[in-house]
Structure 1
Amino acid sequence: MKCAIVTGGSRGIGSAVCIKLASAKKYHILINYTSNEAAANDTLQKVREAGATGEILKFDVSNYEETQSVLNAWQDKNPDAVVEVIINNAGITRDGLFMWMQPEDWSSVINTSLNGFFNVTNFFIQKMLRNKYGRIINMVSVSGLKGTAGQTNYSAAKGAVIGATKALAQEVAKRKITVNAVAPGFIKTDMTQEFDENELKQIIPVNRFGEAEEVADLVAFLASDKAGYITGEVININGGIYS
């Protein structure tokens, strides 16, 4: 059984990626979520409607022990399953000016994006290397490239994942494993619903927010066989806001 895992797969971009990967009918989709079981089940239903199989896995990617425990249990139950695609999408924001930032707001954002990348990818990487094939795609952000005021923690977390993407890509390329990052700008999701689109779109050259499905299309391409010569890249999808 060939599988793709999507962390933070219950809502927003993660959910759109699960459904898009399902439409290729190549993978059993593992939908990771932390708290919103109803949204995870809704995504699973849409995965099945798209013609693929799937299941939901509840664990907090920032918690090493919990991640190991759940993934080990899943692997023991599915000894023949091979995870070929890892989408590290889980991320949280705790926005605020750095001068007032609390330690918890700093560490929780770093732990989810950066340690989450480590905890999930590190679990699967040895099997992937033995299998001599893999696609690792890390969801980063325009904030990780240009920095965003009020998001020093989020910018630091995503910037770190960009560095990790470029380094890991060089380590595993000979085994036909690619590692890339996708950096969305303003995308219509729960994470941006508080934003004033009418005001912000004035700074976006294409004059609108992006759709989660547009990001999912890019992720699905990078996860496909066609993208075998693209690795160590950070691909912006932001309507020209940072080009």
Structure 2
Amino acid sequence: MRDVVSALLGGGAIYLAMVACAASEKGSSGHPAQQTGGGSGQGAEGSTTAQQTGGGSGQGAAGGAHAQQTAASSGAHGNGGNGGFGGFMDPVPDASADPMSGSRLKARYRTTEDGAKVYDTTRWFDSTRREICAFYLAADGQERCLPGLVDASIATPISGYFAESSCTKEVVMYKKGCTPKYAYNTAQSDAACDALTNRIRMFSVGERLSGTTIYIPNSAGACTAVTANSAYDYFPLGDEIPPSAFVAATWSVDP
């Protein structure tokens, strides 16, 4: 009797081992399910990998399969399949939102011939002043959307020339036949603890000058007459425009 029981137990163990082996071979021989577009790819019972390109999801069955998904439109990874002992989910990438217009600053974008909308995140349209602007550190130490530095058709840097022999009335030069709307210069803050960052000062511009002589201080500080360059027109420098005339911005950090 003891020999019979031992034989039966041994035969059962062999049978179970054969069944397990067959199941393992069945899983490993399953073909990967591949799909392009929507829908789902489903693996066999073993460790088949379901791969999918496009929308939808891939799901492996009880052997621990996992699915990979590549979203063609955004490059985001989809969710992995759930295996018998627990699957995993790929992290969702950061969303990239389009620029948001304010009550005054409006986002700018290009429209391509195939219908794409491409935003310019570096330049904005000031709907009050009706001009393009970009953010720079203004004279008051705040970042503001200032015109001119990104649009040479409306502004010119201060030249260092003067309209008269005492060198007190500064002028700016601009290409012949054109009239600038602004002049600007840069200056570092003189505050003891301030960062050494150039601050932009914006000025208005007067009417075109008709003379052919301008003045410039020489190395000794004396005001010297020079002949105006005929390729340029000259304009008197007007009043400084207060920084508050331009839209200010502050930086924030997501929680």
* Larger Rg, first or second structure (1 or 2): 2
Q: TM-score, normalised by structure 1?
A: 0.16
Higher relative contact order (CA 8 A, sep 6+): 1
